Chain A
Amino acid sequence: MFGIAMSKKTLLNSKEIHIILHRLACQLIENHNNFENTVLIGIQPRGIYFAERLATILQNEYGISNIKLGHLDITFYRDDFRRREAPLEANKTQIDFIVEDKNVVFIDDVLFSGRSIRAALTAIQSFGRPSNIELLVLIDRRFSRHLPIQPDYLGRQVDVINEEKVIVHWKEKDTKDAVYIINN
């Protein structure tokens, strides 16, 4: 498990992720009933797999029809444009419904500095004024926030040092579900 130069620790395996996904789905139902006035927004690029998985569980296992799911790209709203070494690459935004007066749930894989969510809060305004916005994340990296942003629903909280990276794998993209902590 530990390499010479780089160590990789499994934080969650696919079974644990499966349980967490179902718990989060139930927590969403608790607060949003039949989702009549709720929209789910996956944050590009990595939040969309998580959002799609949750939507599928809500539909197939809890019989909630008409789940409204969108993808939001935040590249043009980031506060580190021209401040990064590598240029940012944009992804597709797809929101085919109106968010005006809706309950919006942002879905992302890892909450770290909070800056992505800050950008998402600005970006979503281009699609209307939501009634309220909640945040659902799979992994919350504690004590690493640059901004006063906290999740409303969370899969697992972890304490990791800054040099460590938390990587979420989804089977749709990376062959299996898993969360790793990587130390370079």
Chain B
Amino acid sequence: MSQLSVQHLLGIKHINKADIDLIFKTADHFKEVINRSIKKVPSLRDITIANLFFENSTRTKLSFELAEKRLSADVINFSASQSSVKKGETLIDTANNILSMKVDIIVMRHPNVGACDFLSKHVNARIVNAGDGTHEHPTQALLDSYSIREKLGSVAGKKVVIVGDILHSRVALSNFYALKLQGAEIKVCGPKTLIPKYIESLGVGVEYDIKKALDWCDVANVLRVQNERMEINYFPSTREYSQLFGINKKLLDSLDKKIVIMHPGPINRGVEISSDVADSEQSIILNQVENGVAIRMAVIYLLAQQIKQ
């Protein structure tokens, strides 16, 4: 297998295990490239990529842009806050306008679920989902699994607990699909109000006691409390959340094994994770960021490969 089974990366739901293996294998090569003194390859010199960000992002946007530039693609950036979207332009019109400038790939983040899926049916370009509302964030899940594989050798058979705001998290859903495809066991842990009903139907266990959850797992992926997506109060106070579900050094030291700590960022230090844990040896948070560039290079390279001359 040296080609993806899909034309767009809309979500992990649409890809298979062989696709993940191919992306990881390709990312291994790009990881070597980005650690050279000259971190760039000329593969995509005749490809143009538009990054459409209809929602705020720092890390993902930088990571995609860097990945695209390291592949020598031409990159244009677009943020909703500075655009005609404010003047009432529709998504398809915006995209088609950009495409008439001869763009081959669109990387899009959008606050609405299914926006990338919708766009992929209406415009003639490869689409990469960089996060659509509370739905999926496939490249984040790929880099999470890739980081687990790098740290623990493989993902198969590993026990992963995802802690925090599962309800609003696109990272969690993409991670469920990605980890399941690779044969990991998954539990979620968080306040009952932030865990979707019927989540067990996805093959995910639920644990409300953080200590028990950490005792069970090999890896804890700690999510940010997404205050911006909460219209109502899901828990009484940040202080209470931190006391019941926050991960601190004392809690980690009380376990009889060394688990791996991950966080997709941005971190609310002192809320879901304490500083001494985020900066500890068990944390691979910064490795995740480094791997993010290699994974995004792999995804874009593999999608670009399918665009015929």
- Point out residues on A near B: beta carbons under 8 Å: 73, 75-77, 81-83, 86-93, 122, 125-128
Asked if B307 and A125 sit within 8 Å, CB to CB, the answer is: no
3 tightest Cβ-Cβ pairs between the two chains A and B: A76-B41, A126-B38, A90-B29
Interchain nearest-CB distance for B58 vs A (Å) = 28
Interchain nearest-CB distance for B37 vs A (Å) = 7
Q: Is B33 an interface residue (CB 8 A)?
A: yes
**What B residues does A90 contact at CB under 8 A?**
26, 29
Size of the chain B interface, CB-CB below 8 angstroms: 24
Interchain nearest-CB distance for A72 vs B (Å) = 11
Cα distance A183–B295 in the bound complex, in angstroms: 41
Q: Which residue of A lies closest to B307 (CB)?
A: A82
**What A residues does B308 contact at CB under 8 A?**
82
Q: Is B77 an interface residue (CB 8 A)?
A: no
* Given known contacts A125-B38, A126-B36, A126-B38, A82 and B29 CB-to-CB distance under 8 angstroms: no
Cα distance A132–B203 in the bound complex, in angstroms: 59
Asked if A77 and B42 sit within 8 Å, CB to CB, the answer is: yes
Q: Which of A77, A83, A88, A128 contacts B2 (CB 8 A)?
A: A88
Q: Which of B32, B39, B309 contacts A82 (CB 8 A)?
A: B309
Interchain nearest-CB distance for A142 vs B (Å) = 29
Interchain nearest-CB distance for B35 vs A (Å) = 11
Scan residues 281-309 of chain B and give those whose CB is less than 8 A from a CB of chain A: 301, 304-309
Beyond A87-B3, A90-B29, 13 additional pairs, beta carbon < 8 A: A75-B29, A77-B43, A87-B2, A87-B306, A88-B2, A91-B29, A93-B33, A126-B33, A126-B36, A126-B37, A126-B39, A126-B41, A127-B36
**What B residues does A126 contact at CB under 8 A?**
33, 36-41
B1-38 interface bits toward A, Cβ cutoff 8 Å, 1 = contact, 0 = none: 01100000000000000000000001001001100111
**What B residues does A88 contact at CB under 8 A?**
2, 305
**What A residues does B306 contact at CB under 8 A?**
87
**What A residues does B26 contact at CB under 8 A?**
90
Interchain nearest-CB distance for A45 vs B (Å) = 13
Cα distance A87–B303 in the bound complex, in angstroms: 11
Cα distance A155–B2 in the bound complex, in angstroms: 33
Q: Which of B2, B42, B43, B307 contacts A89 (CB 8 A)?
A: B2
Asked if A83 and B309 sit within 8 Å, CB to CB, the answer is: yes
Interchain nearest-CB distance for B70 vs A (Å) = 10
Q: Which of A76, A82, A86, A91 contacts B42 (CB 8 A)?
A: A76
Interchain nearest-CB distance for A97 vs B (Å) = 13
Interchain nearest-CB distance for A76 vs B (Å) = 4
Interchain nearest-CB distance for B302 vs A (Å) = 8
Interchain nearest-CB distance for B46 vs A (Å) = 8
Q: Which residue of B lies closest to A90 (CB)?
A: B29
Cα distance A103–B207 in the bound complex, in angstroms: 61
Asked if A92 and B32 sit within 8 Å, CB to CB, the answer is: yes
Q: Which of B32, B40, B304, B307 contacts A93 (CB 8 A)?
A: B32
Cα distance A92–B32 in the bound complex, in angstroms: 9
Name the residue among A77, A83, A87, A91 with the largest chain B CB count within 10 angstroms.
A87
Asked if B43 and A76 sit within 8 Å, CB to CB, the answer is: yes
**What B residues does A75 contact at CB under 8 A?**
29
**What B residues does A93 contact at CB under 8 A?**
29, 32-33
Cα distance A83–B43 in the bound complex, in angstroms: 12
A-B contact pairs, 26 of them (CB 8 A): A73-B29, A76-B29, A76-B41, A76-B42, A76-B71, A77-B41, A81-B44, A81-B305, A82-B46, A82-B308, A83-B309, A86-B2, A87-B3, A87-B305, A88-B305, A89-B2, A90-B26, A90-B29, A91-B29, A93-B29, A122-B42, A125-B38, A126-B33, A127-B37, A127-B38, A128-B37
Q: Which residue of B lies closest to A91 (CB)?
A: B29
**What B residues does A83 contact at CB under 8 A?**
309
**What A residues does B309 contact at CB under 8 A?**
82-83
* Given known contacts A92-B32, A93-B32, A81 and B37 CB-to-CB distance under 8 angstroms: no
Q: Which residue of A lies closest to B33 (CB)?
A: A76
Cα distance A87–B302 in the bound complex, in angstroms: 9
Name the residue among A76, A87, A122, A128 with the largest chain B CB count within 10 angstroms.
A76
**What B residues does A127 contact at CB under 8 A?**
36-38
Asked if B29 and A92 sit within 8 Å, CB to CB, the answer is: yes
**What B residues does A73 contact at CB under 8 A?**
29
**What A residues does B32 contact at CB under 8 A?**
92-93
Scan residues 164-208 of chain B and give those whose CB is less than 8 A from a CB of chain A: none
Q: Which residue of A lies closest to B3 (CB)?
A: A87
